[in-house]
Amino acid sequence: MNTIHASTILNIGSTATFVAFPLLYSSTYNGSALTLGLGMGLVLFSMVTPFIALKYRSLKHDH
Amino acid sequence: MEVPITLFTWVAAISPIIVLLALLVYWQWGVAEAAPIGLAVALVAGFTIFDGSLPLLAGELAKGIWGGISVTAVVVPAILIFEVTNEAKAFESFRRGMQQFSPNELLQVLMIGWVFASFLQGVTGFGVPVAIVAPLLVGIGVKRFWAVAVPVIGHAWATTFGTLAVAWEALVLQAALSGDLLLSTAVWAGLFTWAMDLTAGVAICWFYAGRQGVKQGLVAVILISSLHGGGQLILSQFNQVLCNFLVSSAGLILIYLLGKTLYAKPYRFVHSNLMDRSSASGDAEDAPLPLTLHQAFLPYYTLTGVTLFVLLVPPVKQALSFLKVGLPFPETVTGYGFVNPAVALYAPITVFTHAGVFLTLASLVGYYYFKSKHVMRTDSMKRILARTLDKAAPATIAVILLIAMSKVMGGTGQVLVLAEGTARVTGAYYALFAPFIGVLGAFMTSSNMASNILFGSFQQTMADLLNLNPAVILGAQTGGGAIGNVLCPSNVLLGTTTAGILGREGEILKKLIPLGLAVAAACGVIALLFS
């Protein structure tokens, strides 16, 4: 866990939005609850990653 | 049914912006942390108060992510070109070379932070000026904080007619401008952006050395601003597409001549708040460097040359514009009947004329050139890429979430409520607030063009309803859109990313917001008097 960098977590967050994009896009047409839910979930996850990354940055400074 | 415009809905609509600003400016959060909160507030308001359905919100989020991808495609190569130059230790050569251009330190700052930033905005937008110029200013000894603030201020005036007048063209389209109205709107747009340009020059001198700095730089500022703003104003009556590019290019020649004539004597304000005096100098100053100024600047010469060649030579631009990537979006409607029209091709990315491609090409040319000069280590590429990805990470997520926030606000009618609510309350004094509507649009979207798209026809409608001079109101819209580039978190974020001070966006905005609002207020007073 100590080798995970803050930037890795943020890159995971960005990647989550890229993965969410086709799901969100398709849900505007076929309205599938599953794709909509997955897409929204990934966006919500990406919104949390900056705060997770912040924790890793502060852990790094504490050590 | 219409979106209700009440005090409650207006407060709800502005709440994402208030929350974002409070987090950035008051609590000094970084944009990467503040943007998700702003987006969350926009989503909650959009769903609960503005009756946006989940598929509608999904669509707006998708549009936001798409916009973020387009901007990220510029941010990452902008960081890359910096890392290539940094790895070659070319900034030291650049710094010494600038001293030979002119030993007047203030003129060096004006040259890079204002004139060169304006030139870059003249040829390519997308935040490139701020991202490129910030590390160049650090290279000549400007403190990182000011290395970001200065180009943000310096480039903003050029966003209306710059980038081959894309923002202006958007206004022309939205307001269906033609004939005399088009030309008189160009005059007012030119006047308001000239005010921003002059303010930028004076402000940079002031930040450098207070009253003494203004006194020292005043002649240069007046001459350059007359060329920039006055020249643009005149040329806009003949060719709006090229007027900014021509004066911004001429500005480079003028400041070079000033450096060799009126500003040829050494000048340095020792206690300058702008400059970092902590690094040692002396014997190291005389040590020979492996690169000359022009060699160190090669990636940037390449960037400029490629951009000009592709964008200004019509057959080349046409040939390279064959590949456009974009997706259609269906019409969506909120519960209140606010319509997002269907789009055949949303925000298409023209791959081979995208600024990101020019930046990547310039980075590669720079890398191989520096390698041929033996200033790169064997593992340099690995180090460059690792540092680029490391720096790009927070900027990427922040930009995507910020743009998503603006799309959600726009797509659920929140932005319309803000604009119309303001207009209803202001009544006869609407002209005073017209620039602020433009500022709002640019703040939200980090783009003068997008602000004009959002509010161009709205402002024209208000001018007609209230019997105001449409040329003045529309000029104020695009002038406000230019000023909004000074206040917008995305622009500042690009600078803090390449200058290496991520997380300090709030501090910088705290400095810039009063300046931007003051200029907007002055433009508002002028608009009120003449409308």
Residues B322-374: tens digit of each pLDDT: 899 999 999 999 999 999 999 998 888 889 988 889 989 999 999 999 999 99
- Per-residue pLDDT tens over the stretch B181-198: 999 999 999 999 999 999
Q: How confident is the model at residue B98 (pLDDT cuts 50, 70, 90)?
A: confident
> Averaged over B494-521, what is the pLDDT?
92
Query: Cβ–Cβ of A50/B33 closer than 8 Å?
Result: yes
Cβ proximity of B10 and B421 under 8 Å:
yes
Between B490 and B62, name the one with better pLDDT.
B62
Give residue B263's pLDDT. Answer: 94
Q: How confident is the model at residue A1 (pLDDT cuts 50, 70, 90)?
A: very low
Q: Write out chain B residues lying below 8 Å of A36, CB-based.
A: 54-55, 58
For residue B346, what are the β-bridge partners?
B327
Q: Which of residues 22-41 of A touch B (CB under 8 A)?
A: 24-25, 27-29, 31, 36, 39-40
Give the one of A21, A43, A51 whose C-beta lies nearest to B33's C-beta: A51
Question: Does B345 lie at the interface with A, CB-CB under 8 angstroms?
Answer: no
Give the one of B56, B68, B394 whose C-beta lies nearest to A10's C-beta: B394
Give residue B378's pLDDT. Answer: 87
Q: Which of residues 353-412 of B touch A (CB under 8 A)?
A: 389-391, 393-394, 396-398, 400-401, 404
Query: Which residues neighbour B436 within 8 Å (Cβ) at sequence distance 6 or greater?
Result: B422, B480, B520, B524
Cα B294–chain centre separation: 26
Give residue A3's pLDDT. Answer: 52
Of the candidates B328, B66, B68, B325, the one whose C-alpha atom is nearest the C-alpha of residue A29 is B328
Mean pLDDT value across chain B? 90
Give residue B283's pLDDT. Answer: 40
- Per-residue pLDDT tens over the stretch B431-471: 999 999 999 989 888 889 889 988 898 899 889 888 899 99
Cβ proximity of B492 and B512 under 8 Å:
yes
Phi, psi of B140 (to 5 degrees): -100, 10
**Which of the residue ranges A48-52, B260-264, B300-304 would you say has the lowest mean pLDDT?**
B300-304
Residue of A9, A11, A17 best to disrupt the B interface, most CBs of B under 10 A: A17
ipTM of predicted assembly, 2 dp: 0.90
* Model confidence at B294: pLDDT above 90: no
Between B108 and B281, name the one with better pLDDT.
B108
How far is the C-alpha of B223 from the C-alpha of B238, rounded, in Å? 22
Residue of B nearest to A48 (CA): B36
Nearest CA distance, B284 vs chain A (angstrom): 33
Query: Cβ–Cβ of B62/A21 closer than 8 Å?
Result: yes
How far is the C-alpha of A35 from the C-alpha of A28, rounded, in Å? 10
How far is the C-alpha of B216 from the C-alpha of B164, rounded, in Å? 33
* Model confidence at B285: pLDDT above 60: no
Question: Does B344 lie at the interface with A, CB-CB under 8 angstroms?
Answer: no
- Nearest 5°: CA angle at B321, between B319 and B325? 145
Tell whether the torsion through CA atoms of B408, B411, B412 and B417 is positive or negative: positive
DSSP string, B231-281: HHHHHTTT-TTTHHHHHHHHHHHHHHHHHHTTT-S-B--TT-SSB---S--
Cβ proximity of B248 and B119 under 8 Å:
yes
* Model confidence at A61: pLDDT above 50: no
Give residue B284's pLDDT. Answer: 46
Cβ proximity of B94 and B300 under 8 Å:
no
Give residue B447's pLDDT. Answer: 86
Distances (CA, A) of B306 to A12, B300, B311, B362, B468: 33, 10, 8, 8, 44
Of the candidates B350, B467, B453, the one whose C-alpha atom is nearest the C-alpha of residue B410 is B453
How far is the C-alpha of B484 from the C-alpha of B393, rounded, in Å? 25
Helices and strands per DSSP (H, E), number in chain A: 2, 0
> Averaged over B86-92, what is the pLDDT?
86
Rounding to the nearest 10 degrees, give the CA dihedral for residues B66, B440, B25, B157: 90
Q: Is A20 exposed, middle or buried (0-12, 13-18, 19+ CB in 10 A)?
A: buried
DSSP single-letter state for residue A31? -
Between A45 and B454, name the one with better pLDDT.
A45
* Model confidence at A39: pLDDT above 70: yes
For a pLDDT cut of 70, what percent of chain B falls above it? 98
Q: For tokens 């456009």, what's the residue?
A: B324
Q: For tokens 């520096």, what's the residue?
A: B370
> Averaged over B78-82, what is the pLDDT?
86
Distances (CA, A) of B292 to B201, B369, B469: 29, 13, 54
Q: Write out chain B residues lying below 8 Å of A42, CB-based.
A: none
> Averaged over B17-21, what is the pLDDT?
89
* Model confidence at B19: pLDDT above 90: yes
* Model confidence at B22: pLDDT above 60: yes
Q: Write out chain B residues lying below 8 Å of A20, CB-based.
A: 61, 65
Q: At what angle do helices B430-445 and B505-530 cross, to 10 degrees?
A: 150
Between B132 and B189, name the one with better pLDDT.
B189
pTM: 0.82
Cβ proximity of B206 and B214 under 8 Å:
yes
- Per-residue pLDDT tens over the stretch A12-29: 999 999 999 999 999 988
Q: 10 Å Cβ neighbour count for B143?
A: 20
Give residue B526's pLDDT. Answer: 96
> Averaged over B415-440, what is the pLDDT?
89
**Which of the residue ranges A59-63, B63-67, B134-138, B446-450 would you say has the lowest mean pLDDT?**
A59-63
Query: Cβ–Cβ of A47/B58 closer than 8 Å?
Result: no
Give residue B264's pLDDT. Answer: 92
Give residue B340's pLDDT. Answer: 93
Query: Which residues neighbour B514 within 8 Å (Cβ) at sequence distance 6 or greater?
Result: none
**Which of the residue ranges B120-124, B151-155, B183-187, B272-276 would you say has the lowest mean pLDDT?**
B120-124
Q: How confident is the model at residue B280 (pLDDT cuts 50, 70, 90)?
A: very low
- Per-residue pLDDT tens over the stretch B27-57: 888 888 999 999 999 999 999 999 999 999 9
Nearest CA distance, A14 vs chain B (angstrom): 5
Give residue A63's pLDDT. Answer: 42
For A6, the enclosing helix (H) or strand (E) is: helix A6-30
Nearest CA distance, A11 vs chain B (angstrom): 5
* Model confidence at A45: pLDDT above 90: yes
Token pair of B80 as six digits: 């890359």
